[in-house]
Structure 1
Amino acid sequence: MPRHTLSRRLFLGTATAALTALPLRGFAQELSPAQTPGVEASPEQIAKAVAELDAIVADVMTRSKIPGLAVAAVHRGETVYSKGFGVRRLDGPETITPDTVFQLASLSKPVGATVVASQVSKGVVGWDSRMRELLPWFELSDPDRTEKLTIGDLYSHRSGLPDHAGDDLEDLGYDRKEILQRLKLLPLAPFRISYAYTNFGLTAAAEAVAEAAGTDWSSLSEEALYRPLGMTSTSSRFADYIAASNRAIPHSRDGDGFAPLYQRKPDAQSPAGGVSSTANDLAIWLKMLLADGAHAGTPLIAPEALLPAISPQSFSDRPHSPDARSGFYGYGFNVGTDPSGRVRIGHSGAFLLGAGTCFAMIPSLGLGIVVLTNAAPVGAAEAITASFTDLAQLGHITRDWYGGYSSRFEGFYTKRGSTVGQDRPADAGPTPPQDLLTGTYSNPYFGKVEIKADGDKLVLMAGPKQIPFPLKPWSGPVMVFDFVTENAPDGSRSTLVFGDVSSGPAKSLEIELFSETGPALFERV
C-alpha cells in the first residue's frame, strides 16, 4: 500500500531548525496521523467469533480427518478460549487437552525470536550484531559476506543461503555444528535483497546468541523465556517432548487419511523447529507479545527490542500485480496487512512426518490465536486461524479457507524423483558387475557414502549413521532407491548413476536425491 509523506522540499525548507530541538522519532510520530483501521471490530463481534470456534474446529476436523488439535485464543490480556479436540494417537483412547504437548515445527521460529529479543533487551546482543564476532567458526562461501553477516540477516532469511539450506544434511543424520560448518560450501544469492527460508541459517544466529549469553540454546530459552512466563510444559529439547506423559503423537499422511508412522527428532535445528509446547503455554506467550513484552504487568522484554522482530525486515512474498498486498518477514515472524487494514503477525509450522501448527495475532485488537495439530500439514491449522480472524475483524468468513489452504498444501505431498510412477524400462541394460561399483565415494558437502554388497544386491550407506538405502537395478549404470524424509513424502524415489565402468571400477556416482542445490557428484576415494 502507498506511503503518504510530507514533501521533502517543504519539510527541509521549514523544519530544519526544529529538528535540532526535537528527537527525530518523537517528531515523526507527531507528524503521523492516527492509525485508523478500514473497519471497526467491536468487543461483541470478537466475542461472537470466539463463540464460533467450536463449530469452525468441528468442520475442519471432519473435512481434514486429522486426529486431534488444541486451540487457544487471547483478547486484551485474557485467555478467552482454550480447548482440546480429538485424540493424541489415532489408535488410542487418550484425548487431547489444552495442556497436551505438541511439536511446534516452524512455530518455533517466532518463539525463538522472542528469546533473542530478550537478549537484545539485556544488551547481550543486538539484531545487528555481527556473526563473525559472536560465532567466529561460522562462514559463508563469500568471505566479505561472512564479515558483514548479522543475526538479523539470518533471522529474516536474507543471507543469500539457498532455500532450506542444510535440511538435506539433517535428513542424513548430521548434527547441528557439522551442518552449520558445511553451509560455507553452498552458493549464495544476492545479499539482503534475496529471500530464501533457511532453518539452519536461523539456527546459526540462535547459536551465536546463546554463545554470547554463555550457555546453550535450549537452556537459554528456558531461562530467558519459558521459566519467567511460567510456560512449564514448553521446551527446546526433544527429550523433554518424548518424556511428556500428555504428548500428542505425530501422524503422517497415509492414503487419504493419517497414521502414526514416524517420529521427527528436530534437535539439530531446535531454534527453527524444535520447540514443543501446549496451547495454554502459548496463550501466555501471545499475551506477552500483545502487551509489548510485559508479563502480568511486569516488563520482561523491552518494546524496542521486540518491535524489530515483528516489523517487516525483508520481502517474503513480492506482489504479483499492482493490486496485490506484499508479504513480509520480520525476525522470525511473518508480517502483513489484512483486508481490514490491520497489521497481522503470525507463523505456521509443518512437519511432513506429523505436525501442522499456526498462530496469528492482530495487535491493534489485542487479539491472538494459536492452533496445534498432531497431523502432517493439510491447512487445517491455517484454516481455523483465518476463519477466526475473519469473524473477529469483519463479522463473517470471507471464503472457504480450508478448501483453499488444503489445495495449496497438496504440493508438499508431490513424490520426489524423476522415475516416480514409471516402471523399469523394458529394454533396460544389464547392471555392471558388483566389484566395479562397490566402494567409498565422497562429496565435499554430503560427505562419504559407501556402496556395499548384500548378497547379489547393492546397498547405499549414507550419512554419519550409515543409513541403508537398498538399491534396485533400473538400466545399465542407473539404479534407484526408495526414500521418505521430512522433506520428501512416502513414495519418493531417487536415481543413483554410476560413472563410466568401461575401463575399470566406477570413479564416481551421482545421486538425484541430493541434487536440489546442484549436481551431487561423489568421487571414489
Structure 2
Amino acid sequence: MGHVARFVLCAFALALPVAHASAPEPAARADIDPLIDAVVARYHLPGIAVGVIDDGKVVYTRTEGKLASGQPMDADTLFGIASNSKAMTSTLLARLVQQGKLRWDDPVRKYMPSFRMADAWVTANMQVGDLLVHHSGLPEGAGDLMLWPTPNQFTPADVVAGLQYLKPSYSFRAGYAYDNTLYIVAGEVAAAAGGTTYPALLRREVFQPLGMSRCQIGTWNRDDVGNVADPHVLHDGRFVAEPADGSIVHPATMDSAGGVRCSLNDMLTWATNWLVPTPAQLAWLTPEQRRKEWTPYTPMPISARRRAWDGTLFYGYGYGWRIADVDGQITVSHTGTLSGMYSAMVLLPFRKSGFVVLINADAEEARSVLIEVLAKHFTAPGKARSVASYADELDHENQQKRTSHVPDTSSRKAATPAELAAQLGVWRDPWFGEARLCAQGDTVRFASVKSPRLSGQVMRVGDRYLVQWDNDEVEAWLRLPAQPGGAMHMAKVDPDADFSSDYEDLAFNREHACH
C-alpha cells in the first residue's frame, strides 16, 4: 500500500507463525513467581493478573488481589486494557477490509464527509490506514482532553468536529507523535463502513469469533457481568479505589482508542490467536491482513533506557502494534494506560511466546519492570537483573526529572476576585468548549462545562497562576492574556506529566462576563 512511507529493515515484515503440535518447554513457576512477588511487594499493587505463553501454550497464570466485594481476583476478572484496545480496533478494520467493505487506502472522507484536519490537503489525503499509525502531524496527545478525565460530556462527533482546530506540530507523514483522537475517527469509520455501532461491530467481528466471552465494550451491566476490578489511584502515597458510578456502564468517547475491558483468559486467547493461529482463525483473519497489522509504517524514537536495557536498534508502529527488536529478537507489543488501569502485551512471534500483564492501579514503573524481567525470561536470561535493580534505576531517573523540571509551587496562595477582576468571565476554546473563570466568595474558580472534573481553585505562585483541581488531575498553569482581548492559555505545571493533559493546545477567548 502506498499511502504511508514504510519503515523497512532488510525488507522486514513478520512472517506469521504456524500452529504446531510439539509440546512447549514449560515456564518454571519457580522462576516467575519470585518476579511477581517482588513487583507486588515493591509497588504495593492492589491487584494484578499475569499470563505467560511459551511455544504456543499457556504455561503460567497468576492473579493477586481482591475485588471490592472481598472476593479474590482470578483469571476471569475484568480489567481495563486501555490502549491495548487499539489493536482490536485495527483488527476490526482489517476484518472490514477482508470483507470488501473498505480499503486501507480509502480516503477517510469517503466514510466521514464531515472529517476535517487543520490543513485542507491533509483532510483530502488522510487515508484509513493513516488513522492508525501516529504520523498525522498532530502533536502528542492532541485533543485528549475531549477523552479524559472521565466522565465528561464530549462525544465522538465532538472529537471529529474538534480536529480541524488542533494545530499540527510537524508535516503529515513526516514523523511520529502518539495520538488517541484519530483512533476515535477510526472507530467512526468502522461504524460507517460496517453499518452498525463500533461496540456492536467489535463484539461481532472480534470478541465472538475468537471466544473472548468476558470482554466488554459499549453498554453493559457490571452487576450482571460480575467480577470487575475497580481502578486504584495514588492518594498520599497509597492506592485508593475509585468505585464505579452505578451498575450500568455506558459507551465512552474513547472506546475505540482505549475502552475495552477483558480478563486475563480473554487476553491470552487474543495473544494465542496471534502467535499460533488455528486454521479457523486464519480464515477469520487472513495472513495478508495479519502482516498488514504487523508491518512497521512509522519509525518511533528509541529512548536511551530502551537502548541500554534491550539493545534496541529499530522501533516502529504498525496498525495498533509496536514492533521492535529486544536483545536481538523481534517483539510485537503494546501497553495500555488509563487512570487506575495499566496493561501490557508483549509477543515474540518467532518463538511463539509472550506474556500479558493487567494491573488495576496507576503503576507505570511496576509495569515497566515487569515487562523487562518477563521479556528477559525469553530474550536474554543471562542478562536478567533483579526487580530491585530495575526499580531503583527508575526511582533515580524519576527523582532527577522532578528535581530538574518541576517548579516549586509550595508558596501558592488563593487568588482573589479583585486581582483577577479584568479576566473573570466565560471563555471558549474552539475544540474544548466553554470554561468559566468566575468568583466564588473570596476565591476564583476555573470550571470546564463539558469536562466537570476539570474544575478547581485558581492559586497564585509569585506572579503566576495555576489551577488546583478539585480532583487529582495534572495541575495546569493559567496563562492570562497580557493585553485586553488576548487569548488565555494553559500548560502543565509538571512538563513531564502525562501527555493526555494537553493543556498546551488550548486557546481560550473571552465571550462575556460571569453571570
Give me the TM-score of the superposition, normalised by structure 1.
Answer: 0.79
Task: Write the distance in 2 (CA, Å) between the matches of 1:297 and 1:509.
Answer: 53
- Residue of structure 1 in register with 2:284 after alignment: 300
Query: Amino acid of the residue matched to residue 354 of structure 1?
Result: G
Residue 177 of structure 1 pairs with residue 157 of structure 2: yes
8 Å CA contact 2:456–2:469 kept in 1: the answer is no
8 Å CA contact 2:35–2:387 kept in 1: the answer is no
CA shift for structure 1 position 375: 0.9
Give the 3-state SS of the residue equivalent to 1:59 in structure 2.
helix
Task: Write the distance in 2 (CA, Å) between the matches of 1:60 and 1:429.
Answer: 43
CA shift for structure 1 position 203: 1.9
Residues 54 and 493 of structure 1, relative CA distance in 2, 3 Å threshold: same
**Which runs of no fewer than 5 residues in structure 1 stay unpaired?**
6-27, 36-41
8 Å CA contact 2:323–2:333 kept in 1: the answer is yes
Task: Write the distance in 2 (CA, Å) between the matches of 1:395 and 1:466.
Answer: 48
Residue 222 of structure 1 pairs with residue 203 of structure 2: yes
- Residue of structure 2 in register with 1:96 after alignment: 73
Task: Write the distance in 1 (CA, Å) between the matches of 2:373 and 2:161.
Answer: 42
Aligned residue runs from structure 1 range 200-211, under 5 A: 200-211=181-192
- Residue of structure 2 in register with 1:336 after alignment: 324
Task: Write the distance in 1 (CA, Å) between the matches of 2:258 and 2:71.
Answer: 25
Residues 287 and 464 of structure 1, relative CA distance in 2, 3 Å threshold: same
Bigger RCO of structures 1 and 2 (CA < 8 A, at least 6 apart): 2
8 Å CA contact 1:357–1:382 kept in 2: the answer is no
Aligned residue runs from structure 1 range 418-497, under 5 A: 421-424=409-412, 432=418, 436-464=422-450, 469-472=455-458, 474=460, 479-483=465-469, 488-489=473-474, 492-495=475-478, 497=480
Give the 3-state SS of the residue equivalent to 1:52 in structure 2.
helix
CA shift for structure 1 position 521: 3.5
CA shift for structure 1 position 141: 0.7
Match of 1:82 among 31, 40, 61: 61
Task: Write the distance in 1 (CA, Å) between the matches of 2:174 and 2:487.
Answer: 37
Query: Amino acid of the residue matched to residue 185 of structure 1?
Result: Y
**Which runs of no fewer than 5 residues in structure 2 stay unpaired?**
1-6, 17-21, 493-500
Residue 271 of structure 1 pairs with residue 271 of structure 2: no
- Residue of structure 1 in register with 2:301 after alignment: 317
Task: Write the distance in 2 (CA, Å) between the matches of 1:301 and 1:228.
Answer: 10
Task: Write the distance in 1 (CA, Å) between the matches of 2:502 and 2:273.
Answer: 43
8 Å CA contact 2:489–2:504 kept in 1: the answer is no
The one-character-per-residue Cα deviations of 1:421-462 (angstroms, maximum 9, x if unpaired) are 33148xx99753776554322222322222333333333231
8 Å CA contact 2:35–2:373 kept in 1: the answer is yes
Aligned-residue Cα RMSD (Å) equals: 3.8
8 Å CA contact 2:312–2:325 kept in 1: the answer is no
Match of 2:178 among 165, 173, 197: 197
Residues 213 and 420 of structure 1, relative CA distance in 2, 3 Å threshold: farther
Residue 135 of structure 1 pairs with residue 112 of structure 2: yes
Give the 3-state SS of the residue equivalent to 1:379 in structure 2.
helix
Give the 3-state SS of the residue equivalent to 1:267 in structure 2.
coil
8 Å CA contact 1:450–1:462 kept in 2: the answer is yes
CA shift for structure 1 position 471: 3.0
Residues 440 and 406 of structure 1, relative CA distance in 2, 3 Å threshold: farther
Aligned residues between the structures: 478
Task: Write the distance in 2 (CA, Å) between the matches of 1:146 and 1:314.
Answer: 19
CA shift for structure 1 position 171: 3.4
8 Å CA contact 2:457–2:470 kept in 1: the answer is no
- Residue of structure 2 in register with 1:14 after alignment: none
Question: Bigger radius of gyration, 1 or 2?
Answer: 1
The one-character-per-residue Cα deviations of 1:239-297 (angstroms, maximum 9, x if unpaired) are 456763201111112333311147699821111110000000111111111235x4666
Q: Which 4+ stretches in 1 moved above 6 angstroms?
A: 262-266, 319-323, 412-415
Give the 3-state SS of the residue equivalent to 2:253 in structure 1.
helix
The one-character-per-residue Cα deviations of 1:5-36 (angstroms, maximum 9, x if unpaired) are 9xxxxxxxxxxxxxxxxxxxxxx99xxxx99x
Task: Write the distance in 2 (CA, Å) between the matches of 1:515 and 1:164.
Answer: 6
8 Å CA contact 2:39–2:387 kept in 1: the answer is no
> Which has the larger displacement, 271-280 or 119-128?
119-128
- Residue of structure 1 in register with 2:88 after alignment: 111
Task: Write the distance in 1 (CA, Å) between the matches of 2:288 and 2:184.
Answer: 23
Residue 520 of structure 1 pairs with residue 504 of structure 2: no
